[in-house]
A and B are shown apart, each in its own frame.
Chain A
Amino acid sequence: MTSQSKHAEMLSGAAMVIRALADEGVEYVYGYPGGAVLHIYDALFQQNKVKHVLVRHEQAATHMADAYARATGKAGVVLVTSGPGATNAVTGIATAYMDSIPMVVLTGQVMSHLIGEDAFQETDMLGISRPIVKHNMSVRRPEDIPYLIKKAFYIAQSGRPGPVVLDIPKDMTIPSNKFPYHYPDEIKLRSYQPKLKGHSGQIKKAVSALLAAKKPVLYSGGGVIMGGAAAELTELAQYLNLPVTNTLMGLGAYPGEDKQFIGMLGMHGSYEANQAMHHADLILAVGARFDDRVTNNTKKFCPDATIIHIDIDPASISKTINAHIPIVGLVQPVLEEMLATVKQKKKKLDSSALEQWWQQINDWRAVHGGRYDTTSALLKPQHVIEQVSKITKGEAFVCSDVGQHQMFAAQYYKFNKPNRWINSGGLGTMGFGLPAAMGVKLNFPQADVVCVTGEGSIQMNIQELSTCKQYGLGVKIINLNNGYLGMVKQWQDMNYESRYASSYMDSLPDFIKLAEAYGHVGIRVTKPEELQPALQRAFVELKDQLVFLDIHIDPKEHVYPMQIPGGAVNEMFLSKTERT
């Protein structure tokens, strides 16, 4: 620090934390105070650029920040105290890590000289978080704070995104110890230089293979959503008339209502998507990681396909499935270059072969086509989601919890835009949905924000209804209440002769009274004919309020299709009585 620092403003470590966040353009920090971070909270109080959202449990702070990142592509920021504050954040950090979501988590720590002495509220947060972060660091000198915060954002947001934890011992933030403040414009690290553009030779090779294909499938995932490449993907697919399937994390990258969209693939993927994958002669995998919920038995996976795999992380390539043409790079520039190369060649795929392929796919479409029992006197979860999709025109932010309701939302909501389907796929964190919806609603106050949940999941972070009241967060909670841990029950039906070991939720609360107790509106729906008026009230009449729709659905419903364990991608149960 030379000439610059002479004129630099003198700030305490605590003030630097907040100023650095402001300089990074952060509007909201989600958190919960405690001893180790009180200096930082005091610095927060003394300015008004960075706003703080007080949750009721630190896990919710992490999910709010995470959902903000999923909706915007920018890192969300969390601030928690040491010890229990930090450990409460662990589930949320792991959730972000598994789905490659950028997040910066500031954790308080006991004073440096007390570290290692089992001091009050001391936990080794660097040790605890190490396997579930992209990186973690601790502050050793207060004057390093601006650099470390910039570095945290840089690492979290570049390359394959992920959460970064910065541990801040309390003595690094003492208000009376001031240091020159300078926020770096950029960070260069000799040990971390993510590759951005793809290798042009590989891209040419990929384009040649793609143009020679007779039965192509475009399989895209979360990387296209977070990589901001939905437009490029859509253009490429439409230019070449390719069938498109998305992973659970990739929904919305291609318009859900378009005829080229063949649905989600994998464990609960559509019949046509899984069949198309199995019979394809070429798979263009973009920002997807061949997860075991997609591939089923890897030995039987897509036997005839040449696989092109675009991913920023070399470790995702050929990890579970061998890629014939790997391309390491960011999806956006790689797809752009592919598209340019394709257009330059003035060549398309063999049209009669492609026509035959589409014919085949449309035949598969007719086999199952997302059918469910529409004659039942009971409310069907699929129907509820379809109606929510309709009333929000496929444009709401849909934040889901984990379970059957999550799969129904993925299958029956028509996602026409990217970054609007927000769910925990890799970790499958029950309790994610409500805080996620809150994080989105806070940042998009005009948008419809729906939390699709179940009576099991919602109770994992139900306390956040109080936070919703404090910040006026008018999210719509669609509680698909089946009175069961439905996803668990489904497995028990299928694999354990319906022995429902602890999957029945006894003593459920009266959700209407609960919503009211927190100062919100609750509506119970028990009959099919009550659904429309309830949705109308929630989404139109009470547009700005939090409405808790407790919707009693058929408790016996299962999610189908469902891949048969150990089988190929296309081996599925299609209903309780049919299989491939």
Chain B
Amino acid sequence: MRHIISVLLENESGALARLVGLFAQRGYNIDSLTVAPTEDPTLSRLTLVTHGNDQVIEQITKQLHKLIEVVKLTDLSEAAHIERELMLVKVKAVGEQRDEVKRSADIFRGQIVDVSATTYTVQLVGTSDKLDAFIQALSGTQILEVVRSGVSGISRGEKTLAL
């Protein structure tokens, strides 16, 4: 099962290395990872996508908790939540393809953020599934480059992950 784990981490050097090292050391998967400081510069917010059976996920959250710099964490996927990922795709766009790519981008509510004589760069924001679907939809087009940010997430409603 896919899980989205959100972590508040002390914004200290070495903290991120420790967290990533834990996954390597214990053989857990990291599908994606995003991290940046929060409005409080002493804290970083990290969103991590992983997968495993219930027992593995339980160990992951427990082991994360044990890291001294981890302040709080939550498994977002256990309740209603919002997840977003940003993708930039550079595609070959010449002749008829130019229209076709634009149409696909419109359907997916993407934006063309850069243009050259032979390429378009499309920006798309959404769930990871939606980004996957867009790539599928481009199957007739030559994809030159894909950059994805990894998932960021937040709980729905009044629930928060804060100090």
Contact = CB atoms under 8 A, between A and B. Distances in A.
B68 A314 contact: no
Interface in A421-474: none
B17 interface: yes
A191 B17 contact: no
A525 B59 CA distance: 51
Given A314-B62, A315-B62, A319-B59, A130 B68 contact: no
B163 A190 contact: yes
Contacts of A137: 14
Given A130-B17, A131-B21, A191 B62 contact: no
B137 to A, nearest CB: 43
A131 B25 contact: yes
Interface in B16-37: 17-18, 21, 25
Nearest to A126: B14
B66 A191 contact: no
A446 to B, nearest CB: 38
A359 B86 CA distance: 69
Interface string A120-162: 0000001100110011111000000000000000010000100
B69 interface: yes
A130 B14 CA distance: 9
A131 B70 CA distance: 16
Given A130-B17, A130-B18, A155 B66 contact: no
Interface string A299-329: 0000000000000011100110000000000
Contacts of B25: 131
Contacts of A155: 68
Nearest to A132: B25
Describe A's contact surface by its main secondary structure: mixed
Given A130-B18, A190-B163, A315 B69 contact: no
Interface in B41-62: 55, 58-59, 62
Contacts of A136: 14
Determine which residue in B62, B66, B163 has the highest number of CB atoms from chain A within 10 A of its CB, and name it.
Answer: B66
A270 to B, nearest CB: 31
A318 B70 contact: no
Contacts of A189: 68
A127 B65 CA distance: 20
Contacts of A191: 10, 68-71
B9 to A, nearest CB: 8
B50 to A, nearest CB: 16
Contact of B71 (A190, A318, A319): A190
B63 interface: yes
Contacts of A315: 59, 62-63, 65-66
A200 B69 CA distance: 29
Contact of A130 (B21, B55, B163): B21
B28 to A, nearest CB: 13
Contacts of A314: 62, 65
A430 B15 CA distance: 33
16 contacts: A126-B14, A131-B25, A135-B68, A136-B14, A137-B14, A160-B66, A191-B10, A191-B68, A191-B69, A191-B71, A313-B66, A314-B62, A315-B65, A315-B66, A318-B55, A319-B59
Interface of B: 10, 14, 17-18, 21, 25, 55, 58-59, 62-63, 65-66, 68-71, 163
Interface of A: 126-127, 130-131, 134-138, 155, 160, 189-192, 313-315, 318-319
Given A192-B68, A314-B62, 7 more contacts: A137-B14, A155-B68, A189-B68, A190-B163, A313-B66, A315-B59, A315-B66
